[in-house]
Chains A and B, each alone.
Chain A
Amino acid sequence: MLHTLLKSMGIGGSFSGGIEPDMSKITADASISTSLMAPLYIVPIKQHIGEVCEPLVSVGDTVYKGQKIGKSQGYVSVPIHAPTSGRVIKIEEHAIPHPSGMGLPSIFIEPDGNDIEDRSLHPFSDYRNTDPAELRERVRFCGIAGLGGAVFPTFIKLLKDQRNPIKTVILNGIECEPYLTNDHRLMIEKAKEIVIGIDIIMHMVGASKAIVAIEDNKPDAAEAIREALNEVSLPDEVQIEVRLLPTRYPQGSEKQLIEALTGKEVPAAKLPMHVGVLCQNVGTTKAIHDAIMLGRPLTERIVTVSGTAVPRPGNMKVRIGTPMRFIFGQHGLDDFDGIHLLHGGPMMGEKMKSIDIPVIKSTNGLLAMHNATMKQAHKLEQPCIHCGHCGVACPIKLVPNMLADQCRNDQFEKAEQYNLFDCIECGCCSYVCPSNIPLVHYFRYGKGQLAQISRETSFANESKQRSEAREARIAREKEEKAAKRRVVREKHKPAATDAESDKKTSDTPPTDEAST
């Protein structure tokens, strides 16, 4: 309780739970290099949360860098753009960075080497006097999604909503995953662009206060941002401060960051905007700057190439669609025997089943780990000894050991009651477990089963409704036919005199209709 009180006053500045792993920031001092032109670019039609894009090009078309090649469908969707100029050589399914190893239709572009840009988008030089709705549409058009890894379509968050006004914009420069340093280097090398990006965001949502949150293992990044704040001229009412937070995982998780900076908790099933806060990753912020100030869509991003098995780790500017093999090759790794590839960081990244998968918008890190390193993390699972360390480490304050037990034993409804869906899958629980139980894996299994059960139940209910509607329809049709028959029989009854009809009605019983 004292903790919460202090936090709300801005003292203490951290969240409850979490772990302090070895950060392994071996690429922290490696300045961003630029990738060479790959021989082929594979652009999947979905790299974001939401609907897939519809390809706008066909095989044989010539495309330019930044040209829109996929149209977004539905509201929660953003378009995709060509990473370089070249020719579309095929559009077919290809594996994407997904733990299932499954694929999506992708647009294959063979570069022509000239890298000619599509300059149809004009820069907004005076964004402060531009309607935020126009800027928001530009952010959407440029295909910007959360580059911290969540790839949620950014324009949806940049809404100036009267019911939930944004008071504070939080810039997420935490980067709490071990090994990853792309945001770190971006803050050092592109500090001015980031600061302008912050101002653009603040104008778009109508906020006057912003906090750039950086972990305290990145003092050089904080310094760079502070210098940029002095150099860039900002309107007087805009207040941007840099705050250093203790280095803990998962400090960069949105919920935990808001808890640490404001002392408030985002209510369950609600969003940060309901507590007047907007969180944005620094990489996304720089992409917003490029979209508004330079008219450039999202076609490239910074990727940290690191891990125990990479000879020359570094941070690289990579075009979307570059095959991973090509990136690793530029860092000295060609032989992938006995090596495991992680897409993302070691805590929340996923193991890739193949090396020939393209880099997409969510690729913040590419890690190559030796077999031995992976084996150390995935040892034999032993029974739970109820030590409770998982509950202490959980930033959401769940009881991971009970949840995992329930998921393993098919007690999914009980797991839901124990708030399984509040789990952010950060991995702190699995990290501390002395019995090496793959807790997060059990939660994902449970969530998947619950989603499947929910889908099956609603499908069964719909089928039942259709079946009942069909039976009702058949009964109705039968009734209508019977009614028609009665009318016809009435019409074709033989005409009779009054005397005869009297006799007939008293003697003869009505004849039964012949069945047809």
Chain B
Amino acid sequence: MIHLSSPHIHGGDSIRMTMLSVIFALMPAAIVSVYLFGWLAFLLITVSMFTCVATEFIALRLMGRSATPIGDGSAALTGLLLALTLPAYLPWWMVVLASVIAIVLAKQLYGGLGYNLFNPALAARIILLVSFPLNMTAWIIPMHVGTPVINLYDFNACLNLLLFGPEALNTALDAITMASPLGHIKTEWSQGVAVTDALRAYDYSYLDAFLGREAGSIGETSALALLLGGIYLLARHTISWHIPLSYLATVLVLAAIFNLIDPNHYAPPLFHLLAGGLILCAFFMATDPVSSPVTPLGQVVFGVGCGLLTWSIRTYGGYPEGAMFAVILMNCTVPLIDHYFRPRVYGRAPDRSNRDA
């Protein structure tokens, strides 16, 4: 028996329980994704999760290490999260590539679980976006939204699409995709159209955005499904409220201020909140424990930084969506935040010197 010091009782929490609880929290979003994107979503999630776990297994064995860590569920979670950030249609090899990048490049090469600097799913997504911009911004028209060209509930059609591309279904990528709300207002603004007009032309409705009936990556569209999962995680204390609250509040405040100043140029705050992958990032990506700060105050600083960057990139940047870039950029600052934003120690002044009685 290993002779370890006290304490000799344990609360029972484990990495596996943590990971499984997050996977469980993502189930509403996964279910909605299948409702909107049919078998494409299902295949995407399955391929991604399987490849991630298999890649981790192979990577660990190649490094001469024991493969038991795949049982902690972190690779499976990365696979699920990655899939939820991808457009419904990607060539199968891009999905595999994304999974391999996430696990090998962004996780195992740093030393495995607990050592990665960046959020693996987001890092892989960004690499893919920059490498394959066309495919990564081709948002498939979801079912129950407008008139879809292909029936996504047809398994054969989806499988053929995944394996052989739109040509296999005698159609082209342009025909089966549409712009996301964020993409739409950015392109319109570059042509001088005001935000409010652009949204009206798009037939935008806040209700649709909240429920998820809009174009986007398969997991980011439904704010409702994601919020359900987020509230579950908060209630279970898997994540703390600091990051989601500060992140969303910062975006809200910034958007509100600028929208008041110039409603033509700056989108309304509620639009920003429901658009793109903000809620997905705020509750599931930015809160990834390994790549986010450890101290509560540090987490607030992190959330504010993410919010600032997200809004700025969305408004002024070249890309329509800035959430993933924001989180990755803030991930770089986490060791610094951890050092400088430690809580005040009991019995000491905030500068850690001895206090006078």
State which of A197-205, A433-441, A456-464, A471-479 sits at the interface with chain B: A433-441
Q: Within B164-197, which residues are at the interface with A (CB < 8 Å)?
A: none
Contact of B6 among A348, A379, A391, A433 (CB under 8 A): A348
Whole-angstrom distance from the CB of A388 to the nearest CB of chain B? Answer: 4
Point out the residues of chain A lying under 8 angstroms from B357, CB to CB: 267, 270, 274-275
Query: Is A29 part of the binding interface, using a Cβ–Cβ cutoff of 8 Å?
Result: no
Asked if A434 and B1 sit within 8 Å, CB to CB, the answer is no
Asked if A371 and B1 sit within 8 Å, CB to CB, the answer is yes
Point out the residues of chain B lying under 8 angstroms from A270, CB to CB: 347, 354, 357
Asked if A350 and B11 sit within 8 Å, CB to CB, the answer is no
Query: Is A282 part of the binding interface, using a Cβ–Cβ cutoff of 8 Å?
Result: no
Asked if A444 and B5 sit within 8 Å, CB to CB, the answer is yes
Asked if A382 and B15 sit within 8 Å, CB to CB, the answer is yes
Query: Is A37 part of the binding interface, using a Cβ–Cβ cutoff of 8 Å?
Result: no
Whole-angstrom distance from the CB of B62 to the nearest CB of chain A? Answer: 19
Q: What are the interface flags for B6-29 relative to A under an 8 Å C-beta threshold, 1 for contact and 0 otherwise?
A: 111111011101100000000000
Asked if A374 and B10 sit within 8 Å, CB to CB, the answer is no
Point out the residues of chain A lying under 8 angstroms from B115, CB to CB: 383
Asked if B10 and A440 sit within 8 Å, CB to CB, the answer is no
Asked if A267 and B5 sit within 8 Å, CB to CB, the answer is no
Q: Within A163-217, which residues are at the interface with B (CB < 8 Å)?
A: 178
Q: How far is the CA of A267 from the CA of B5 in the complex (A)?
A: 28
Point out the residues of chain B lying under 8 angstroms from A22, CB to CB: 9
Q: What are the interface flags for B235-253 relative to A under an 8 Å C-beta threshold, 1 for contact and 0 otherwise?
A: 0010010000000000000
Contact of B7 among A346, A388, A396, A399 (CB under 8 A): A346
Contact of B5 among A21, A275, A438 (CB under 8 A): A438
Contact of A378 among B4, B355, B356 (CB under 8 A): B4
Point out the residues of chain A lying under 8 angstroms from B316, CB to CB: none
Point out the residues of chain B lying under 8 angstroms from A395, CB to CB: 346
Query: Is A369 part of the binding interface, using a Cβ–Cβ cutoff of 8 Å?
Result: yes
Point out the residues of chain A lying under 8 angstroms from B4, CB to CB: 378, 438, 441
Known: A21-B11, A374-B1, A385-B289. A422 touches B346 (CB 8 A): yes
Asked if B346 and A178 sit within 8 Å, CB to CB, the answer is no
Query: Is B113 part of the binding interface, using a Cβ–Cβ cutoff of 8 Å?
Result: yes
State which of A40-48, A316-324, A424-432 sits at the interface with chain B: A424-432
Contact of A432 among B13, B111, B114, B352 (CB under 8 A): B13
Known: A392-B296, A422-B346. A387 touches B289 (CB 8 A): yes
Q: Within B187-230, which residues are at the interface with A (CB < 8 Å)?
A: none
Point out the residues of chain B lying under 8 angstroms from A383, CB to CB: 111-115
Point out the residues of chain B lying under 8 angstroms from A99, CB to CB: 3, 5
Point out the residues of chain B lying under 8 angstroms from A348, CB to CB: 6-7
Asked if B15 and A385 sit within 8 Å, CB to CB, the answer is yes
Contact of B289 among A382, A386, A433 (CB under 8 A): A386
Query: Is A397 part of the binding interface, using a Cβ–Cβ cutoff of 8 Å?
Result: yes
**Max chain A Cβ within 10 angstroms of own Cβ: one of B345, B348, B356:** B345
Point out the residues of chain A lying under 8 angstroms from B344, CB to CB: 397
Query: Is B342 part of the binding interface, using a Cβ–Cβ cutoff of 8 Å?
Result: yes
Point out the residues of chain B lying under 8 angstroms from A280, CB to CB: none
Asked if B347 and A401 sit within 8 Å, CB to CB, the answer is no
Q: How far is the CA of A346 from the CA of B7 in the complex (A)?
A: 6
Query: Is A259 part of the binding interface, using a Cβ–Cβ cutoff of 8 Å?
Result: yes
Asked if B7 and A427 sit within 8 Å, CB to CB, the answer is yes
- Count chain B residues whose beta carbon lies closer than 8 angstroms to a beta carbon of A: 47
Asked if B289 and A388 sit within 8 Å, CB to CB, the answer is yes
Whole-angstrom distance from the CB of A272 to the nearest CB of chain B? Answer: 10
Query: Is A453 part of the binding interface, using a Cβ–Cβ cutoff of 8 Å?
Result: no
Asked if B346 and A255 sit within 8 Å, CB to CB, the answer is yes
Asked if A440 and B5 sit within 8 Å, CB to CB, the answer is yes
**Max chain A Cβ within 10 angstroms of own Cβ: one of B69, B291, B292, B347:** B347
Point out the residues of chain A lying under 8 angstroms from B338, CB to CB: 399, 402
Q: What are the interface flags for A12-49 relative to B under an 8 Å C-beta threshold, 1 for contact and 0 otherwise?
A: 00000001011000000000000000000000000000
Asked if B13 and A268 sit within 8 Å, CB to CB, the answer is no
Query: Is A384 part of the binding interface, using a Cβ–Cβ cutoff of 8 Å?
Result: yes
Whole-angstrom distance from the CB of A417 to the nearest CB of chain B? Answer: 8
Asked if A267 and B356 sit within 8 Å, CB to CB, the answer is yes
Asked if A399 and B294 sit within 8 Å, CB to CB, the answer is yes
Point out the residues of chain B lying under 8 angstroms from A392, CB to CB: 240, 296
Asked if B3 and A398 sit within 8 Å, CB to CB, the answer is no
Q: How far is the CA of A376 from the CA of B4 in the complex (A)?
A: 13
Whole-angstrom distance from the CB of B52 to the nearest CB of chain A? Answer: 17
Asked if A377 and B8 sit within 8 Å, CB to CB, the answer is yes
Asked if B354 and A377 sit within 8 Å, CB to CB, the answer is no
Query: Is A241 part of the binding interface, using a Cβ–Cβ cutoff of 8 Å?
Result: no
**Max chain A Cβ within 10 angstroms of own Cβ: one of B11, B240, B289:** B11
Q: What are the interface flags for A320-347 relative to B under an 8 Å C-beta threshold, 1 for contact and 0 otherwise?
A: 0000000000000000000010101011
Name which residue of chain B comes closest to A265, CB basis: B347
Q: How far is the CA of A230 from the CA of B18 in the complex (A)?
A: 52
Asked if A379 and B10 sit within 8 Å, CB to CB, the answer is yes
Point out the residues of chain B lying under 8 angstroms from A350, CB to CB: 5-6
Asked if A21 and B9 sit within 8 Å, CB to CB, the answer is yes
Contact of B354 among A21, A269, A371 (CB under 8 A): A269
Asked if A431 and B10 sit within 8 Å, CB to CB, the answer is yes
Asked if A386 and B294 sit within 8 Å, CB to CB, the answer is yes
Query: Is B2 part of the binding interface, using a Cβ–Cβ cutoff of 8 Å?
Result: yes
Chain B contact residues, CB within 8 Å of chain A: 1-11, 13-15, 17-18, 69, 72, 111-115, 237, 240, 289-296, 299, 338, 342-348, 352, 354-357
**What are 22 A-B residue pairs whose CB atoms fall within 8 Å in the complex?**
A22-B9, A267-B355, A268-B347, A270-B354, A344-B6, A347-B7, A350-B5, A371-B1, A373-B9, A386-B293, A388-B240, A388-B289, A388-B296, A389-B237, A397-B343, A419-B348, A422-B348, A431-B10, A431-B11, A434-B17, A440-B5, A441-B4
Known: A350-B5, A386-B292. 11 other contacts (CB 8 A): A270-B347, A347-B8, A349-B6, A376-B10, A377-B7, A386-B114, A395-B346, A401-B294, A427-B6, A430-B7, A434-B18
